Amino acid sequence: MGAGVMQGGGGGGRRGRRRQSGKNKPMSEINVTPFVDVMLVLLIIFMVAAPLMTVGVPVELPKTAAKALPSEQEEPLTLSLTADGRLVLMSTDIAAEELIPKLRAIAAERADNKVFLRADGAIPYEQVVQIMGALNAGGFNDIGLVTDTGGPTLNGSDG
């Protein structure tokens, strides 16, 4: 009556097919460990390099409650007046008698007539005003005085 014949071969019809092992499967996840390692190294590099990017002339700026000026597109011209009376244009020492001719030459090449004056707090006001007059005579009418934030306000409280 209903006896069936079983065919040999085993494997249940899988002859010719190979099982896919785990090493042949495509990887569906992204390994972010190298990315994180590179980002941490860059973070450390920028943390070390950021303090070195400031102007290297040691000037003790006076404190004020004024807010910072907005950033510029062109690198701003900076004139520093140190506590010992030296004039430093960007990072170059300059004699007082050479200041106005040098400023006129720079003003002729720049699109912007803005200059930042960094004067040490120990410098007398008269000397700072004389430098501001020289800046004006050199063609720079937009003078910004650089100070540190957090100084006292007019109402007597510290900012």
Which one is predicted more confidently, 123 or 28? 123
Looking at residue 74, what is its pLDDT? 67
Q: What span, in angstroms and rounded, lies between the C-alpha atoms of 81 and 59?
A: 8
Give the global pTM: 0.53
Q: What are phi and psi of 107, to 5 degrees?
A: -65, -30
63-149 folds as Nucleotidyltransferase; domain 5 (3.30.420)
H or E element at residue 124: none
User: Average pLDDT for residues 45-65, to the nearest whole number?
Assistant: 77
Looking at residue 66, what is its pLDDT? 75
Beta bridge partners of 54: none
pLDDT-derived band at 155 (thresholds 50, 70, 90) equals confident
- CB–CB of 118/78 below 8 Å? yes
Looking at residue 93, what is its pLDDT? 87
